[in-house]
Each structure stands twice: as structure tokens, then as C-alpha cells.
Amino acid sequence: MKNKPILFIDSGIGGLLYCREFLKNNPKEEVCYLADNENFPYGTKTKDELCEILVSLIGRTAAQIDPKIVVLACNTAAISALETLRVSFPNIPFVGTVPAIKPAAAASKNKKIGILGTARTIEDPYNQKLAGESGNQCEITAVAAPDLVNFVEERYEKSNDEEKTLIVKKYIGIFRAQGADTLVLGCTHFLYLLDIFHREASADIKVFDSLDGIKKRVEFLLDENSGALRSENSSDPVHRLLLTGKIPEDSLWYIHAKKLNFKLIQI
């Protein structure tokens, strides 16, 4: 078990940031990143559709790479299918990325929080449940931003700071008009623009994300039971970027794989 890979999954590039953050402090762990390019984007699909897609995808992938932990590095996937996956694969520990609503609600002074995500994520009643668990009953302004998901996936590498700032300012303006004093970035794609969100939110809106929390949760699973799942690799592991569907020769995935030094494999 120790030297098996950790599998991170998203429909696009959002979860790559979670891989990168995790590997900073855990360089001996082997990572496989599965980008479900064929079914991008997840945010437009129903809960039942996502459960069917992810059970099938993880079943096929697990049979090939036998992961010791699976990280759903996608809020939409985690909110929709996490419990189903845990039942379907009882011998695999799953970590689900969900919107950081509890800390945002707890920190809100005027009890007004904003959530930015995909349509599938913001429509789920699980968000209200998370807000209630904070002990601070808050009014939620939830906004779907499919254009922002597509922008990060398709335009981020080509765009300049001005273009990135304009699209972020549009959404900050919506939440500011509603009086929100905390904002949850409920899609992993949005973290590519995290610095701009912090800058544009300024002093009146505090921005929350789940990046550090997911890293710590995976590390906790590795370290429990006296480090039973910690890798014993004596050399640097080879990381893999697994892609579903056809990948054109000019795909940005080649750029992402090179930046992270991941071996790109189409499955």
C-alpha cells in the first residue's frame, strides 16, 4: 500500500493546483492526476449523471493503477458523488473537496456570505447544511459562473492580467452589491485567479478556499496508524497525467504536463 499512487480527479485543470500544493510538502508520494476531458464540464450535469460517470471512471482507473487514496479535486464531483463512491469502493479512502462554507460563515460579521461555483454545486442543498454547521446562520448569495470555468480552462494561459481582472471584478461586484462580507470559491478552477480575487475583494470581502484543507486531510490519512500509507520511495516518483477523450496536438494539456513534469497518458 505504501508506494501506491494517490489519485486526484477533476474534469479539467482545477485540481492540478491541489496536486501541486500537496507535492510541495510530500515529494516522495506518487501522484496520478485524472482529467476527465471527455466529460468536461461537470457543472452542467445532473447528480445522477455524475454518479454514473464517476463510478465507471474510478472503477476503470482503480483497476489499472490501484490508488491508495482518491481525491475528488472538484467541488461538483464531491458534492454530487462522494457518498456514492464511498459505498461503491469501500476499500478506498476518499477525500472530497467541498466549498469552504463553514469557515466563511463562521467568519462573517454581517451573516451574509457569497458562494461562487458551478450550477450543479450551488444548487445542492448541501451548501445550506454546511452553513448551518458553522453555528452562524447566514444568508447565502450563490452564483453560478460557467463562463469563469471555461475561461480558466481555455483562456487562462493566453490571457493577460487585465482580462483576468475584468472577469473577476464582475463577480466581486455582484457579491459586494448583495452585502456579502465573505466569499467562498466553490470551484477548483477559480483558484487559478485566487490572487486577483483577494486583490479585488480588498478589505470588505474575505475570500475562502479549500486548498490547504484538502492537503492537510490527505496528509492526515497518510500519517494515521503510524504512517501506514506513507510512501517509502527511495527515489523521486514518476507522476502521471491521465486524460480521457481525444486530445488535439495543440492542447493546453501538453503545457500543463510539462510545467508539472507529469507524464501525459491518454486513457
Which residues does the annotation mark as catalytic? 74, 187
**Residue 82: CB partners within 8 Å, gap ≥ 6?**
72, 94, 96
Strands 139-144, 31-35: pairing is unpaired
149 in helix, strand or coil?
helix
- Kindly tell me the burial class for residue 48, based on how many C-beta atoms sit within 10 Å of its own C-beta (0-12, 13-18, 19 or more): exposed
Measure the CA–CA gap between 265 and 101, rounded to whole angstroms: 35
Q: 115: closest CA among 104, 262, 129?
A: 104
Tally Cβ neighbours within 10 Å of residue 249. 5
The 3-state DSSP composition of the chain as helix, strand, coil percent (nearest 5) reads: 50, 15, 35
Contact 13, 221 (CB under 8 A): no
Measure the CA–CA gap between 144 and 148, rounded to whole angstroms: 9
CA distances from 267 to 21, 65, 251 (A): 25, 12, 16
